[in-house]
Amino acid sequence: MLCPNLNAALMAEVFHCTTSNGIILSNCWFAFGAYGTKHPLRATKVEEFFIGKVLSVGVLYEAVKLLGAIVVPEFAHTTISRCLGIPEHNVRVITRRVGGGFGGKCFRAMPVATACAVAAYKLQRPVRIYMNRKTDMIIAGGRHPMKITYSVGFKSDGKITALDILINAGISVDVSPIMPHHIVETLKMYDWGALSFDIKLCKTNHSSKSAMRAPGEVQATFTAEAVIEHVATTLSLDVDSVRSKNLHNFNSLVFFFEGSAGEPVEYTLPSIWNKLAISSSFKERTEKIKQFNTCNKWQKRGISRVPIVHEVALTPTPGKISILSDGSVAVEVGGIELGQGLWTKVKQMAAFALSSIQCDEMGDFLEKIRVIQADTLSLIQRGLTAGSTKSESTCEAIRLCCNMLVERLILINKKLQEQMGSVKWSTLILQYGSALLLDSRRYSWYSPVSIEELQRSLSSVENGNGSRVKVVVGNIGMSYYYKELESFDKYIDLRCVPELSMIRRDDIRMIIGATVRISKAIEALREGNIVWKKIADHMEKVASRFVRNSASLGGNLVMAQRNHFPSDIAIVLLAVGLLVNLMNGLKSEEITMEEFLRMPELDSKSILVSVKIPDWDRIMSISSGTKMKLLFETYRATPRPLGNALPYSNATLMAKISRCASSDGMVVSDYRFAFGAYGTKHTIRATKVEEFLTGKVLSVDVLYEAVKLLRSIVVLDDDTSYPAYRSSLAAGFLFEFFSHLVEGNAESPNGYMNGYSTLMSPARHLDHGKVSTLLTSGKQEVELNKQYHPVDEPIAKSGAVIQASGEAVYVDDIPSPTKCLHGAFIFSTKPLARVKGIELKPKSVADGVNAVISFKDILGENLGIKTGFGPEPLFADDFTRCTGQYIALVVADTQKHADMAADLAVVDYDMENLEPPILSVEEVVRKSSFFEVPSFFQPKQVGDFSKGMAEADHKILSAEIKLGSQYYFYMETQTALAVPDEDNCIVVYSSIQAPEYAQSTISRCLGIPEHNVRVITRRVGGGFGGKAMEAIPVATACALAAYNLRRPVPMHMNRKTDMKTTGGRHPMEVTYSVGFKEDGKMTALHLDILINAGIGVDISPIIPLFMVDAIKKYDWVAFSFDIKVCRTNHSSKSAMRGPGEVQGTFISEAVIEHVASVLSMDADSGAAGELKEYTLPSIWDKLAASSSFKERTDMIKQFNMCNKWQKGGISRVPIVHEVLLQSNPGKVSILGDGSVAVEVGGIELGQGLWTKVKQMTAFSLSAIQCDGMGDFLEKIRIIQADTLSLVRGGLTAGSTTSECSCEAVRICCNILVERLTPIKEKFQEQMGSVEWGILILEATRQAVNLSASSYYVPDSSSMQYLNYGVGVSEVEVNLLTGQTTILQSDIIYDCGQSLNPAVDLGQIEGAFVQGIGFFMLEEYLSNSDGLVILEGTWTYKIPTVGTIPRQFNVEIMNSGHHKKRLISSKASGEPPLLLAVSVHCATRVAIREARKQLLHWKGLNESDLTFQLEVPATMPIVKKLCGLENVEIYLQSLLS
């Protein structure tokens, strides 16, 4: 495929041109094949070029050049693109340096690169070719051999007239057509008087010849000298005299070389000719050589003096210079370093050109400059490094870049000089910047295929020999519930033992093997009686489907027995009288489920073989016939109804009932009550309650006493969370089980279908996950505008398909480099302590630990985060100052070993003679431990608070609110990969929102200039602010370890470490005083807010401003505040989606709700009059109508009157959210095939930034109005962020980076359109219409710069604007469990004119759901030392499909034209999150109704219904406010 024969078929229709007497081509068909493409191709561009043209030499010459551009692609980039059949922007060719080229690495290197690419693309694996010398010599071709026949006429003094030359070109054309020109131009070194030639390129079956250093010129020089020598010999003249005779004078030079001759003063050859004769003593040495030759027979000498006249051509060359924030300089050029010193000259030119700025500290400026590798997607139109002039062309390109930078910097330098006298370079730049695979050698794996083999395997395990054995099936527990801190020596896989994997039924039971998957057990149970079906229903709530498909039934039960796992399966099976079959060695025994749970923890030699589940339908019919019926129900209260969620409490209740012979009541016998998950080690039987109820006739008073007795039995461990709530749940489960039998008249047993309860209870509408809470319906409305196509189009998010399929490459997907090590942090578990030392367990060292990196190993500054407010250290020094602070980095051979070593590390703390840590904001106030808020970030007070309070009819004084934190919970945890590079450099791949910040920090930490640090970010798997500052120390630690150890170091932080160290949203305590009128009109509001910022400043000083802006959404008339940013010994808090604004929104709604409660008004009526500004009033009214808000409010009131155990609520809230536009760079490059590569400062976090940028690029370039641009989006590719390719990328945050990136790209596109328009207009005059591809081909031929860069700086008058939205949410609260179900949410959001409605809808819905997490679900809990105690989704519950609104309606409002914003667009990333407070407010409404009912049952009035609903409003919080003893109070009310 690399060296085929070239073949072609050409056909054309021609006619005679009457006006020019020439030939015109009307139709052409040119087919070429076998030149490296998959199939023969039509040369359509050449056909189009010919049509309508009169044939001439010039036209033919242009056509040949055009054909050459097609058949012999100029770059490997283009060749690979065409060979793979993919656009050029999908190909990236990187060349750092070449170990010698001499022309052999021009075209002959292309098939090598292409072959590698074809293999890698097809096999989807990296492929490398390092060609051996033998192969290289055979196929490389080399210099052109040639046969030369010359005829020469000359005078007696040696004047020459003509030559005739033939050249051997080999099998393919390569660059051979340039040879005649080079030969002739070199032959012109002498004044031949007249020179004619007939030079032919010969196609032979030799390997193709290519350019080699001075192609043609070397042969021509030899030919010229051979002719000179021949003439001199013929005339018996001295050769040197013949050479001298034929040297050019300036006139003959101009005659032969025309414009290349330059000015007379430039023609230095005659003077050099004479000067060298003197300096080399040429004549004297010539005479001496003659004498020597006369005297010596067997040795002869010779001497010769020859001239050269060599014509060269300068070629277009791109260049780029980036000055980094530390003043170091990164240079990218078109020329390749072949060993010719190009980089050296470029560095010198950059130093010279930038030195014109005349700053101090520029003496060793060369050390600040680095030339970086060539990258075809970073710098395009590089051309060919050949012809001797690439260095000077490249230097000139760099000089132009430097001049532009100097022009930008000169004004600032002058201003600084006026202020400071002299200016350092670094000061100037700073000022400008501010404007697991099992190792068989170590472990053994056994897979027995019978019980006997299993017993033999277990018998080999001897106690006390130190061998660690683990029996496995799915091994799911390790991944999802507990983590193994140590490895095992021996693994026994039970999956192949048939006796353990069978399912069998007999007359009275079902027998299920221990290794049967939970999902298979569910299928089997569904085919049985109603009890078994209910068991299956309950088991289907365990984990998720893919876990149930992998986890085994026996494994779940063993985890409950051995690891005290709160198993839902164990509790269900305990109640039905399960029997367990155990095997220990050769012994087997059958015990009850209760005995199994109470026995000592199973060791590795004990195997659970099978379980037996009784068939109660069969047992009942045999024992009691039809006189007795069976009641059976399972219960489960969990933080979310679906997905991985451990229950707060669960229960399974079973009882036999019969009609009492002496009364109308029901007698209950043979109870089995199982309760679990409330703090005991194992599920228990409530035997005392069972004994109390046995034989009694069910009544209200009997049930009341049973509930009280159950409460006394359910005693929780001291460290159990929400003990009162869990005890209340148990009481609620028992009440619900019997309530339909005791309320009113007991129903007939005939009410039980097939003898089982249909749960016709007062809480009959309640469900415990039985009914799916998945989204049942939804509506999305957008207003489309075709004006800016394809902008405004709801196209699919760029990269969505490869993300969904798992093909998208994130940092952790990058293949581990050779000799790779892996890192894991050791972090502090103490808030303030001396660190005396770190000890790794010996086993950890054996398990691949290579090093432990701490602050003592830092080469530069101990810097982990640097913001404009201050620095934070990478590692704790001799003191750790907060829990979660990084102390050291363990580096090991695998990520698992690194994580295990870090977990097992023992840190020696000393807290003697230290002040107590500050762990509360109250202590902060006592000790005045505050961070300073710069004056320009301090919000301004509004109005006169004292006057407003004086005018108030009512006042609320010093009410308190506490707001907790929230974890980012991105899909991809903190991740980085650092690779040491040559020449003291480091390349870091980081999942980060601000690569530039990481680059600067790494530079200072390693003590190297920023141009030695390259940070690359392709995409981020979710950020929400947590990948802004918190990702920097991760990247820096990896870089430090890689730099010190000279080996690649990646780190994929596990969820546990991520949750304990990254800080999260700012918690705060708020005290408010508010004055208001009788009608609810506010007159004044004052807030005292203490913000817990943690130990480091991070970005905390911006929070007060953001909070105040959010609170201003209501007209408070007067608004004053005292907001303090508190420094505590907690981990540093950082920005999280809607930082400060989320809390501010909640505070404003809490105040409104409090005022409404005091006035006994509807909170919605109090709010409506306060709304202000722009589209918000119209949205407010529009949503009320579209969501039927008033009608639903009335329906909910009716619902609440009719239902005791469920209450509904609805709420409507507005938002006003201010955003700030940021400066942003952009670069657009059009490649040779017309595809487009785009670079922007914004990072793709999943927010659709790349999609919007692609749309904007397509829209802006479409202004050129070419044909062939219909599917132009497919030609555009956004490439990864690279801090040495595009500088000053800034921080992707604040919701506006997408539009700022789009604006930067629009500016670039406008520049390119401006450059291309003249060419396009000329083509239109000739051809009528112009295709995009032909336009770019012609622009490339004319050396038009097809790459444009920009730096968008927003105008001060429009850099801030307001966003508006309104949300309505309706909820239903279960009064027995506290579970809140969101029935419906409606949103209207003013998105301006959306850049992409599909993307913005996703952002609005996603933000709203994340807000639900903050307000309703996510508890970010810590211990008394401030250490986060959560380790993943088991204990931290983010929203899932089961907790989103059942009906979700979103409308994007097009609010019209906004001239000062990019195509009238507005932000959508953060503002909609604030609307989720509507769910919290609706829950408050439902709780108020529950509290009214509770007061009624108590016989009290409903005067005081004021309460504060905490954030998050979790089930325990809601249940507490609804009444932890509401069941007992209700039963008492019935008795009274």
- What DSSP character marks residue 1050? E
995-1006 vs 1032-1045: helix axis angle to the nearest 10? 40
Q: Phi and psi of 922, rounded to 5°?
A: -65, -40
Q: Identify the helix (H) or strand (E) that includes residue 975.
A: strand 975-981
Pairwise CA distance, residues 357 & 423, whole Å: 10
Active-site hit among 88, 1153, 1470, 1510:
1470
Query: Facing residues of 1091 across strands?
Result: 1068, 1125
Tell which phi-psi region holds residue 753, choosing left (phi > 0), alpha (psi between -120 and 50) or beta: beta
Pairwise CA distance, residues 1058 & 1019, whole Å: 19
CB-count burial class (<10 Å; 0-12, 13-18, 19+) for 1484:
buried
CA 901 to each of CA 810, 843, 845, 1339: distance values in angstroms, whole numbers, following the listed order: 25, 9, 8, 59
DSSP 549-598: TTSBHHHHHHHHHHS----HHHHHHHHTT-EEEEEETTEEEEEEHHHHHH
One-letter amino acid identity for 1388?
I
CA dihedral 858, 859, 861, 863 (to 10 degrees): -40
Pairwise CA distance, residues 928 & 935, whole Å: 19
Structure token digits, residue 285: 């040495």
Q: Which residues of 215-247 are buried (b: 16+ CB within 10 A; e: fewer)?
A: bbbbbbbebbbebbebbbeeeeeebbebbbbbb
Q: Identify the helix (H) or strand (E) that includes residue 1211.
A: strand 1206-1220
Pairwise CA distance, residues 1002 & 1044, whole Å: 13
Closest C-alpha among 340, 345, 319 to residue 330: 319
993, 1028 Cβ separation under 8 angstroms:
yes
- Residue 503, SS3 per DSSP: strand
Name residue, tokens 């704790």. Answer: 876
- For strands 985-990 and 1013-1017, give the pairing: parallel
1408, 778 Cβ separation under 8 angstroms:
no
CA of residue 687 relative to chain centroid, distance: 54
Annotated catalytic, 1470? yes
Structure token digits, residue 1443: 């907790």
178, 64 Cβ separation under 8 angstroms:
no
Q: How far apart are the first and last CA of the chain?
A: 96
Where do the DSSP E strands lie in 1313-1429?
A: 1347-1352, 1360-1374, 1380-1390
Alpha helices, H only, 421-461: 425-434, 451-459
Contacts of 1365 (CB under 8 A, 6+ apart): 1179, 1214, 1215, 1217, 1387, 1388, 1389, 1390, 1471, 1472, 1474, 1475
Contacts of 309 (CB under 8 A, 6+ apart): 186, 188, 189, 248, 253, 257, 269
Contacts of 251 (CB under 8 A, 6+ apart): none
CB atoms within 10 A of CB 339: 12
CB-count burial class (<10 Å; 0-12, 13-18, 19+) for 138:
exposed
Q: Catalytic positions, please?
A: 1470
